[in-house]
Amino acid sequence: MENNFKKFANENLQPKTFTFDNINLGKAKEIIKMYPKNYKESSIMPLLSIAQNQNDGWLPKKAIEYVSAFLNVPEIKVLEIATFYSMYNLSPVGKNHIEVCTTSPCMLRGSDEILVKLKKLIGANIGEVSKDCVFSLNKVECLGACVNAPIVKINQNYYEDLNLQSVEELINKLRVNKKIKIGPQSSRKGSEPRKN
């Protein structure tokens, strides 16, 4: 069953506390300065992203409480955002969290087949973590890079111009901790026109 990492992790997985480490505390303070003092809610999304990155790619309840207290905004406002956007995970993800865009432009360029292939390669369905915890899989709406469809996001980076072969190569490399090229997996650079 698809759960898309939108269900809070069981209590036994929830940490007892959460606070930003020193580096992230500095980043959070800089972010707050970017917005007018009376629009503290504007910082919720970037602060949740920082919290998620600090906590291995998912947001525990304590992180949501912490961001709410840090910004002095009602917890429900933070919760609304954390539960709405697919970019926030409320339960643990794999070391490589894969998000496959299946919206129309990516679908027309083969994302459905890529999703099927990925499920087989990593041995996990949508909303699941692979047995070895190296991968997790999610299906998302447009990632905003349609010009290089089909697109897959893995952790913080986009992998573009994919096909079944390049997806398999990416997974094989990640499995053995090899570095993978970010961006287009074809020969073109950025979004330049195809040469063939």
If the CB atoms of residues 105 and 110 are measured against ligand FES, the closer one turns out to be: 105
Binding characters for ligand FES, 70-109, by CB under 6 A (x = yes): -------------------------------x-x-xx---
Q: Per CB under 6 A, does 154 bind ligand FES?
A: no
Binding characters for ligand FES, 108-147, by CB under 6 A (x = yes): ----------------------------------xxxxx-
Q: Least distance (Å) from ligand FES to the CB of residue 141?
A: 8
Number of shown-chain residues binding ligand FES (CB under 6 A) = 11
Chain positions 43 to 62 lying near ligand FES, rule: CB under 6 A, are none
Alpha-carbon distance of 101 to 74, in angstroms, equals 32
The residue ranges that bind ligand FES (CB under 6 A) are 101, 103, 105-106, 142-146, 149, 151
